[in-house]
A and B are shown apart, each in its own frame.
Chain A
Amino acid sequence: MGLAGVVVLVTLGVMLGPLQALLGAAEPIKLGWVGPLSPPGGYADGQLMKDAAMLATDEINAKGGVLGRRLEVSYQDTRGLPEEGTAAAERLISQEHVVAIMGEFHSSVFLAEMEVAHKNGIPIVAVDVWANKITAMGYPEVFRVAPCQALIATQWGNWIAAAGFKNVAVLYEKTDGGQSARDVLLPILRAHGIRYDVVGADLNQTDFTAQIERFKTHTPPYDLFVTIFSEAGLYPLVQQSYSAGFAPTKHTGLTNSGGPATTPTFWKNVGEAGKYLLTEVPGLPRAKWNAITTAFVANFKKRFNSPPTPQAIESYDAEYILADAIKRAGTTDPKALIAALEKTNIVLGRGRYTFATDHTPDWHYHQFVDAPVHLIQYDTVGQPPDGAPVVWPRNLATVSYVYNRPPR
């Protein structure tokens, strides 16, 4: 080939070096998203959370990505099964080499996923899982943006006491969410000296009339019907309770915890029966919305033709938190990322995010302690959650009453 050839080759090789670096710089940053997209998981909520994450990804990339690189998210369907959570987490980490994982709607699945993340030292952000144990385990990789059961059920328990209820019927869904809500709520009721009876129902139960009639015969009569139900089962429950004249009535209030009362199809399914229902919103009340919240709600509605749920905002914010942490760390190295996450101090759709670093109580660790949770009570049919009166906590309340008793 001759000297000329060698010179050409060497020059090319030297040129390829920086070229390589340039190409490498264009390599996207990969994140992993986990959540239920098919049965037996809660696929309705999972889908909305995925939609919100897609929205966040597109927005971030439109603004130039993170550290000059595109953000890419790999979505893994975990179907509500812990074994699939493990598989998804393993795949994301060892196959797809993601720098961080976010998501999940089922605590039992997240507990499996976080073990894999912990083993590999990869940060994982819990988006909508409420079991205290998740942060109580104390894994440095785990961060949570959702409120935990301790935070939510405490609100409910305090509200129930403040509103003066003495005799409560609790109907909960036999899922991990329902169980943990029940487990935290009941001791609080006991502490306030409130009488209660508890009934568990299967996920696919649709006929509650016999149970409701049984509740009606109880003496003394219940003054509050607490339902802990997610997804489809709630709608017939509320309707049947209303038509049977059990709740919501002048004598018996009706609450729901679990989310479906804030979804787009709530009113379409329950109609008149949903008036006077109370539910929690794990997000900011309308009055406290910032520019990001308003923009997100508008963009989500425009793109997906339905208003977002609080779980969706959590998902959206979680991705932004990760992007922000990567930016501040200046690298995708896991340890640096975890350190950066700990120092998170950013205002997003649900307010100012910070993560506690203490262990008192044990679930505090890496928990977004100030996660907003407020209770609303609908007073008009068709009311959107962000337009409903806020009754608790009192510092956020938009009305003077704690409980709006139905007239009939």
Chain B
Amino acid sequence: MDYFVLQATNGAIIGVIYALIAVGVTIIFSILKIVNFAHGDLYMLGGYTAYYAITFLGAPPLGALALSMAALFLFGALVERLLLTPLYSERTERKDEYGLLVTFGLAFFLRNTALIVFGPFPLRPRSFVPGVAHLGSLTVTWDRIFAGALGVALIIGLLYFMHRTLWGQALDAVSQSRESAAIVGINPRLFNSLAFAVGAALAAAAGALIAPVYSLAPDMGVLPNIQAYVVVILGGMGSVVGSIVAGILLGEAEGLFTAFFPDPTRALAYTNAFGVLVLMAVLLVRPTGLFGRRHVRME
């Protein structure tokens, strides 16, 4: 297999995983209009929940995934009720700043608590599908393919939910205008909780899917957090399609950079910097990302 094609394929698979992580951020942003800085830590919690479900409850990996999503769904709703309700009040000024700061604080809190609760040693749950597959001369573990495939399935499911079901359309309505939605009889408070909960569940799914690939550690969410934002902003906040495209783009960019950067000593070290550089370059040209609409502040 041509070296380029090999690296590009690998990059695409990684990119789908990035997209999966980013989609949760996008959902939360499009409904609540805030950037969830704690997304990486919800991802981390999802991974650990799945691990403990497998280890202590003896759940099969898929069951653990579902359990993890359910648990983080509830946790997300709880967080939303506890911390995010000022977003809906007239008295709160600069709502997006508030959202940023409070999710930042949540991330800080979760990460440091996780270190104490889960301990510092990396853990690895059982594989979903053991073994490797051979795509030409590229060897890919089945776990990665599974993560990518299930990720795509979840995203498609999400899109279906958003556009074809009543609840999903209600969510969409709230994202366009809270007040109009309220007039039509949709309870915005309920749907805001729902949005955050769905976002958290998606993060948990990503964490549970990727845990066998990269192992679990309390700070495993730090880098994916940054990468998720890069993807979301590249793709434009609020655009699910944009997140998918941007995710794959980022995966490709990083993979090809490592593969072809002339100085082999530095290639890997600067790969993450390169991803960020791509982001910076795109933001310079299109400040709202590739697919984003103009950043709308919460009314």
A–B contact (CB under 8 angstroms): yes
The CA-CA distance from A205 to B264 in the complex, in Å, is 16
Q: Which residue of A lies closest to B266 (CB)?
A: A200
A380 contacts partner chain B, Cβ-Cβ < 8 Å: no
Given the complex, which residues of B lie within 8 Å of A331, measured CB to CB?
A: none
Find out whether the CB atom of B122 lies under 8 angstroms from the CB atom of A235.
yes
Other 5 A-B pairs with CB < 8 A, given A43-B115, A171-B268, A199-B268: A201-B268, A205-B272, A214-B259, A235-B215, A263-B121
Instruction: Give every chain B residue within 8 A of A43 (Cβ-Cβ).
Output: 115, 120
The answer to whether B214 and A236 have CB atoms under 8 Å apart is yes
| Contact present for A211 and B267 (CB under 8 Å) | yes
**Contact at B264–A202, with CB atoms within 8 Å?**
no
Asked if B120 contacts A47 (CB within 8 A), the reply is: yes
Instruction: Give the contact stretch, choosing among A19-27, A264-272, A399-407.
Output: A264-272
| CB of B105, distance to nearest CB on chain A (Å) | 17
Q: Does A38 contact B (CB under 8 A)?
A: yes
A232 touching B217 by the CB < 8 A rule?
yes
Of residues 1 through 28 on chain B, the ones whose CB sits less than 8 Å from some CB of chain A are 3, 6-7, 10-11, 14
Taking CB atoms, residues of chain B closer than 8 Å to A11 are none
B264–A214 CB distance below 8 A:
yes
Shortest beta-carbon distance, B10 to chain A, in Å? Answer: 5
Q: Assuming A200-B268, A265-B121, is B213 touching A245 (CB within 8 A)?
A: no
Binds A, one of B31-39, B88-96, B218-226: B218-226
Q: Is the CB of A236 within 8 A of B223?
A: no
Whether the pair A199, B120 counts as a contact (CB closer than 8 A) is: no
Q: Which of B122, B256, B264 has the largest number of chain A CB atoms within 10 A?
A: B122
In the complex, chain B residues 219-239 whose Cβ is within 8 Å of any chain A Cβ: 219-220, 222-223
**Cα of A245 to Cα of B220 in the assembled complex, Å:** 26
CA gap between A243 and B143 in the complex, in Å: 11
Question: Is the beta-carbon distance between B267 and A213 smaller than 8 angstroms?
Answer: no
What residues of chain A lie closer than 8 Å to B176, measured between beta carbons? none
Contact check, A213 vs B259: say whether CB atoms are below 8 A apart: yes
Name 21 interchain pairs, CB-CB below 8 A, sorted by A.
Answer: A197-B265, A199-B265, A200-B266, A201-B269, A204-B222, A205-B272, A207-B214, A209-B14, A209-B255, A210-B10, A210-B258, A210-B271, A213-B259, A214-B264, A217-B3, A232-B217, A235-B215, A239-B141, A263-B121, A269-B123, A269-B124
For window 264-299 of chain B, which residues contact chain A by CB distance below 8 Å?
Answer: 264-269, 271-272
Contacts of A44 in B (CB 8 A): 120-121
B132 and A211 contact, CB distance less than 8 A = no
Of A38, A205, A235, A243, the residue contacting B268 (CB under 8 A) is A205
Q: Which of B14, B123, B222 contacts A207 (CB 8 A)?
A: B14
Q: Is B169 an interface residue (CB 8 A)?
A: no
Within 8 A of B (CB), among A185-225: 197-202, 204-211, 213-214, 217
Interface residues of B in 115-159 (CB under 8 A from A): 115, 119-124, 132, 138-141
Give every chain B residue within 8 A of A211 (Cβ-Cβ): 258, 267-268
**Contact across chains for A197 and B141 when beta carbons are under 8 A apart:** no
Interface residues of A in 231-253 (CB under 8 A from B): 231-232, 235-236, 239, 243-245
Measured between C-beta atoms, what is the minimum distance from A232 to chain B in Å? Answer: 4
User: Which residue of chain B is the closest to A198 with respect to CB atoms?
Assistant: B265
Q: A210-B10, A264-B121 are in contact. Are A38 and B255 (CB under 8 A)?
A: no
CB <8 Å contact, B112 and A38:
yes
